[in-house]
């Protein structure tokens, strides 16, 4: 129990000049503290594995700090579940998840990439020349698994409005009852000003903002992760135009196999998360 308790502390809080514990670090420390006379890293691992404690691992995390986090997140989750303001969405209601993927580089490799061979994986030259960067704007139809996108030298109101126009100018969105656009709080679609601007252009458009720093609730980020894996890694393009062409061609390719994402995080999980965060906040204040 003492070993597990130590593993659940931040090393810096124990006076050690470490960012995280390894099995060997823990073994040395518990011996130095006199908890045990001798112990191996394998034994440490076996004990910690019983409770899935892995202090040698870490993950990045953004603590929700939007005072309206639960309210704003709940609206988005309701849309994913097919309802709005406690009413089921109709067949002529649509849900769009949109965002920008910024600073996509064209890395022109000094030596041509070598394809896979028997016993040898693809080989990509480490050195490259910078061929510029662009932004990729995309809109994902949550219920129909349709993707729309465009490339622009930079982000901003004009590029985003161009993406909106691309979607809203065609059927079924043009004459739909409502088209909900889920967006984050980026400068090109932030706040009430963006709501009013887009509402004036498209009377059936409803802009729905995510909580601050909660892009993980935006389904288009899942599509962006697919793009990163299948299109941009490894990054090997002869020019910036080639990057744009590959991204737009991938949209058509992906639509042939795409299905709506199986979104499992609901209001119930949201309530549990909010309660957990409150408990952590109380514990932090008490400490």
Residue 276's pLDDT band, with cuts at 50, 70 and 90, is confident
Residue 48 has pLDDT above 70, yes or no: yes
* pLDDT at residue 62, rounded to an integer: 74
pLDDT digits (tens, 9 = 90+) for 93-115: 999 999 999 999 999 999 999 99
CA distances from 273 to 64, 117, 221, 276, 279 (A): 10, 48, 20, 5, 10
For residue 282, the model assigns a pLDDT of: 56
Residues in CB range of 206: below 8 A, 6 or more apart = 178, 179, 180, 181
The confidence band for 287, taking pLDDT boundaries of 50, 70 and 90, is low
Q: Is pLDDT at 213 greater than 90 in this prediction?
A: no
Nearest-Å Rg of the Cα atoms of the chain is 24
Round the average pLDDT of the chain to a whole number and report it.
93
Handedness of CA 220, 202, 94, 269 (dihedral sign): positive
Kindly state which CATH superfamily the domain 69-112+126-255 is placed in: Ribonuclease H-like superfamily/Ribonuclease H (3.30.420.10)
State yes or no: pLDDT of 274 exceeds 90: no
pLDDT at 66: 86
pLDDT at 280: 67
In this prediction, residue 278 carries a pLDDT of: 77
Q: Is the pLDDT of residue 279 over 80?
A: no
What is the pLDDT at residue 283? 53
Residue position matching structure tokens 């042939």? 256
Average pLDDT over residues 201-215: 95
Run of H or E including 124: none
| pLDDT given at position 275 | 87
What is residue 281's predicted lDDT score, i.e. its pLDDT? 59
Residue 40 has pLDDT above 60, yes or no: yes
Cα dihedral 178, 183, 185, 189 sign:
negative
Q: Coil, strand or helix: which one is 178?
A: strand
Kindly indicate the confidence band of residue 80, based on its pLDDT and cuts at 50, 70 and 90: very high
Q: How confident is the model at residue 55 (pLDDT cuts 50, 70, 90)?
A: very high
First to last CA, the chain: 21
CB 110 within 8 A of CB 128: yes
Region 58-72: mean pLDDT is: 85
Classify residue 22 by burial, with Cβ atoms within 10 Å: 0-12, 13-18, 19+: middle
Range(s) within the chain of domains with CATH label 3.30.420.10: 69-112+126-255
């Amino acid at each position: 129990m003492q070993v597990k308790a130590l593993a659940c502390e931040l090393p810096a809080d124990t006076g050690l000049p470490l960012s995280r514990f390894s099995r060997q670090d823990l073994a040395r420390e518990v011996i130095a503290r006199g908890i045990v006379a001798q112990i191996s890293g394998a034994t440490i691992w076996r004990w910690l594995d019983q409770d899935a404690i892995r202090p040698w691992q870490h993950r990045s995390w953004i603590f929700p700090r939007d005072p309206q986090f639960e309210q704003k997140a709940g609206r988005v989750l309701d849309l994913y579940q097919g309802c709005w303001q406690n009413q089921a969405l109709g067949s002529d209601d649509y849900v769009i998840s949109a965002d920008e993927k910024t600073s996509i580089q064209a890395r022109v490799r000094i030596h041509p990439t070598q394809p896979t061979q028997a016993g040898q994986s693809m080989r990509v030259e480490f050195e490259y020349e910078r061929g510029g960067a662009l932004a990729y704007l995309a809109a994902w139809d949550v219920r129909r698994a349709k993707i729309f996108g465009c490339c622009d030298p930079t982000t901003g109101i004009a590029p985003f409005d161009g993406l909106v126009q691309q979607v809203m100018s065609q059927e079924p969105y043009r004459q739909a009852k409502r088209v909900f656009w889920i967006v984050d709080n980026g400068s090109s679609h932030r706040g009430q000003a963006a709501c009013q601007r887009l509402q004036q252009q498209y009377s059936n458009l409803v802009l729905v903002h995510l909580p601050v720093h909660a892009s993980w609730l935006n389904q288009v980020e899942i599509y962006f992760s697919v793009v990163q894996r299948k299109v941009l890694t490894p990054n090997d393009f002869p020019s910036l135009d080639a990057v744009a062409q590959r991204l737009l061609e991938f949209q058509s390719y992906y639509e042939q196999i795409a299905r709506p994402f199986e979104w499992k995080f609901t209001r119930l999980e949201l309530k549990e998360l909010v309660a957990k965060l409150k408990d952590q906040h109380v514990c932090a204040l008490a400490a």
